[in-house]
Chains A and B, each alone.
Chain A
Amino acid sequence: MKILKTYPDRCIGCLVCEAVCSETYFQKPDAAKSAIRILEDDTGAADYRILVCQQLGDCIAVCPAMAIRRLKSGVVTINKKKCVGCYACVGFCPIQAMFTHPDEIVPFKCIACGKCAEQCPTEALEIVEVE
């Protein structure tokens, strides 16, 4: 299964990943439209915390419209046409990695495309295969 693996201890908070992600999927750099979020880590373990979908798939069962499914690659995706915009998936994501934006009626999440990992200057992000 393909996921975006994160190395928070390497993150320098440059936010390139957020810009790349939102530009890729919403055609403009806007952190509020990014499926990856860099947050300050208040636990003290590192400077930053990287919040991004780990393809756990808890959202699949809670979707009342059967709009969320797992692809053969293991990536969990939303069918925009089927989505009824209830955001049950947002509230039920155990790591809160499903996002919404006022401009969008469908929520969005990381699909492990790897664009952000390609651009990350410190190799804090990496596409890996996991069981």
Chain B
Amino acid sequence: MNRAELKVLAEFDYELGQVEKGYTGRTLYVNVSDNTIESRPVTPEMKEIFVGGKGFGLWRLWHGVTSDTKWNDPENEIVISSGPLGGTTTYPGSGKSLVVSISPTTHSVMDSNVGGHFGPLLKFAGWDAIELQGKAQNDVIVYVDGMQGKVFIYEAPEGTADTHELAERMVELFADSEAEKVGISSVTAGSGAEHALIGCLNFSLYDERRQGIRVKQAGRGGIGTVFRDKKIKALVVKYLGVKGNSNHPADKSRIDRVGIKMHKEIHDNDPVQCRMRHRGTSYLVQIMSDYDLLPTHNFKYGGHPEARRINGDVWEARFRQGLPDGCWYGCTLSCSHTVEGYTVRTGPYKGRVVRVDGPEYETIAGVGSNCGIFDPETILEINFYCDTYGLDTISFGTLTAFVMECYEAGILDQEKTGGLDLRFGNGDAAIELLHQIARGEGFGRIAGQGIRRMKQIFVEEYGADPQFLQDIGMEAKGLEYSEYVSKESLAQQGGYGLANKGPQHDEAWLIFMDMVNNQLPTFADKAEALHYFPMWRTWFGLCGLCKLPWNDIIPEDNALTEEPAKVPEHVQNYVEYFVGVTGRQDVKRGEDLVRMSEAVYNFQRVFNLRLGFGTRQHDAIPYRSMGPVTAEEYESRAERYDQQLRELVGFDPTGKSTAEKLAALREYRQAQYERLMDAVYERRGWTANGVPTLETLRRLRIDFPEVVAVVQQHL
């Protein structure tokens, strides 16, 4: 089929325009219920307060939904926006898209930061963001033609929704020549996202050297499920002609200076630091295992002797080397590697030879060690299928680990799992579970709803102990944990538990500062870190940036600076870069960037409140993320815990049973977490119930009447 044969449901013409200082000044609204397409202006206030990216997404979403909107209501939206710096080619890590929606697993606001070419190409096609609303009757394709100035809604052709086929097909369909292929990027989900709540979105880029597509995932919180619920099969953009000045920056030389400096720094230091260019984030496996941080057997343990079997050197040998593996032009950190020529061994694509995008650390730890699986082939199989089915590898890994623990604890058996022998380490059973989740069949239909719903089902239907499930079910706010053991770092417990969207490490990763280097000894220190770092990391998502070039490569003399954890030289790079693009005169220091994030961060907190969440009770975390739940867990690290009881708790463990010791440790750690919440709320300018005060809203200039009205209900 070619494009001319597609049935057009709606068509919209627009002036191509030009990006000015990182902004097009308008966003695209598409409603797939009634096929409305319109242009909406970006106001100066939006740019000043919400900056772009996630900020624009939240602002548009706020106005698109009500306090009663559910994830599968037509008025729920998916908003995708890069940000003012997005699409810059000179500074590494500048091609991200930020996606927001109301999540099917948390029922609150979700955000996800993803690579691939879509966000930048959308901007160069003329739009700072795209806002998708409504629910089509039959599958549609939304196409933005940034060369002709046209937007189309097409009836989608028959065929699979699975990404590895569909995204290639979109390139063939919308590129008019071989040379145009690099100008096409699509957003797709997959058949799994139609049947499970943990659906993800795949953002593509056309790789000229590989002569095929690569995909990056907006994984967290089920936005792929929302996408398929709207019956959007693919969202496609075309734009050709990306240049070093496509953002029309205010002062390009300021960007060039820091950008070239970063390329050189990566050239010189990456080979002796993280070696991202060779193995991406996969090298973290062994380090995490060595520090007792690698989730193993549903976060019971922090390491395993077999971790070396799935560590970076194994993947380095599998990854195709020597290619510029950025997910946007100019990202010389190049972490997004692929395994080529993988032969699929199960399921509907059995026998096919495919490209696997990744695996990255989160996938390896999630579907690997956390499930007791240390076989690279099984990890690749799951990685491939999760991506093409449009399922989040992190949620799949964490929920499968939970299921496996329930199975070993006798809550589940083969009768309940339909014959699946879901012991830790059974890779074949994990793969079969994945296929069932994708088809929405058998036990997979239950598992695909995520841990929070499984807990309820296991209690109501299988008579499981609710307290035990609450303790071991690694979810908070309805989102499955990402892959770090936080037991020995109180600050990281907060990093997970106090995160706006749920336990994802993109807000704060404080384990080394807190646990290894002991740089956060007091509650005030931890609270300060849980103020600064979440705000700082939020800023990347406002601008269309990746966090990795901030601290996964560091200047040689970074350790000699006053605050090495902040990487001060890079923070200053970002000030130069931001001012270079936007020309904003009010930005001079890192603190000015953090203040931007603070406004958006607090707005998101209020958004949670508006949807019925966002207070202290919703920042609760499962005890497994704080300390040992079971006797075997305690005894595996008895020396450490006994010592803590003696030295920190004032409880003499001598002669006490494991149950008594577990209880004493638990009482202490839970109280510590409560104290941490108090300290962080105060530092963030929130009430003891976790609600931003009116003074905080005023200080951050987000005291809009509708925002104040939401907060006032909780004061």
A interface residues, Cβ below 8 angstroms from B:
61-66, 83-88, 90-92, 100, 102, 105-106
Contact = CB atoms under 8 A, between A and B. Distances in A.
A101 B336 CA distance: 30
Given A87-B256, A91-B263, 4 more contacts: A86-B259, A87-B90, A87-B263, A105-B252
Contact of A86 (B209, B244, B253): B244
B457 interface: no
A86 B90 contact: yes
Contacts of A92: 263-264, 267, 332
Contacts of B330: 64, 84, 86-88
B696 interface: no
B244 A91 contact: no
Q: Which 8 A-B pairs have the closest CB atoms?
A: A85-B244, A91-B263, A86-B330, A86-B89, A91-B264, A64-B324, A105-B244, A84-B329
Contact of B324 (A88, A100, A105, A106): A88
Nearest to A66: B208
Contacts of A64: 324, 326, 329-331
Given A62-B324, A64-B326, A105-B244, A84 B260 contact: no
Given A61-B323, A92-B332, A102-B253, A84 B263 contact: no
Contacts of A90: 260, 263
Contacts of B245: 85, 105
A84 B332 contact: no
A87 B90 CA distance: 6
Contact of B266 (A83, A86, A91): A91
A66 B332 contact: no
A63 B182 CA distance: 14
For the complex, would chain A's binding face be called helix, strand, loop or mixed by DSSP majority? Answer: loop
Tell me whether chain B's interface is mostly helix, strand or loop, or mixed: loop
Interface centre among A64, A83, A90, A106 (most CB of B within 10 A): A64
Interface in B645-685: none
Contacts of A65: 182, 208, 329
B287 interface: no
A84 B242 contact: yes
A108 B331 CA distance: 20
Nearest to B252: A102
Interface size class of B (residues with CB under 8 A): 20 to 34
B243 interface: yes
A66 B209 contact: yes
Contacts of B208: 65-66
Interface of B: 89-90, 182, 208-209, 242-245, 252-253, 256, 259-267, 322-324, 326, 329-332
A105 B244 CA distance: 6
Contacts of A63: 324
B113 to A, nearest CB: 20
B323 A100 contact: no
Contacts of B265: 91
Given A66-B208, A66-B209, A105-B245, A87 B329 contact: no
Find the residue from A66, A85, A105, A106 having the highest chain B CB count within 10 A. A85
Given A100-B256, A102-B253, A85 B324 contact: no
Given A85-B245, A86-B90, A62 B332 contact: yes
B260 A91 contact: yes
A50 to B, nearest CB: 21
A98 to B, nearest CB: 10
A88 B259 CA distance: 9
A129 to B, nearest CB: 27
Contact of B244 (A61, A62, A84): A84
| Residue from the set A100, A102, A106 with the largest chain B CB neighbour count within 10 Å | A100
7 contacts: A66-B209, A85-B245, A86-B244, A86-B330, A87-B244, A87-B263, A105-B243
B322 A88 contact: no
Nearest to A98: B260
Contacts of A84: 89, 242-244, 329-330
Nearest to B330: A86
A91 B262 contact: yes
B565 to A, nearest CB: 25
A80 to B, nearest CB: 10
B181 to A, nearest CB: 12
A91 to B, nearest CB: 2
Contacts of B243: 83-85, 105
Nearest to B325: A64
Nearest to A94: B267
A84 B328 CA distance: 11
A85 B89 contact: yes
Nearest to A106: B244
User: Which of B252, B329, B331 has the most chain A CB within a 10 Å cutoff?
Assistant: B329
A128 to B, nearest CB: 28
Contacts of B242: 84
Contacts of A66: 208-209
Contacts of A86: 89-90, 244, 259, 329-330
A88 B265 CA distance: 11
A88 B91 CA distance: 9
Given A61-B324, A64-B324, A66-B208, A88 B332 contact: yes
A106 B90 CA distance: 11
Contacts of B260: 87, 90-91, 100
Contacts of B182: 65
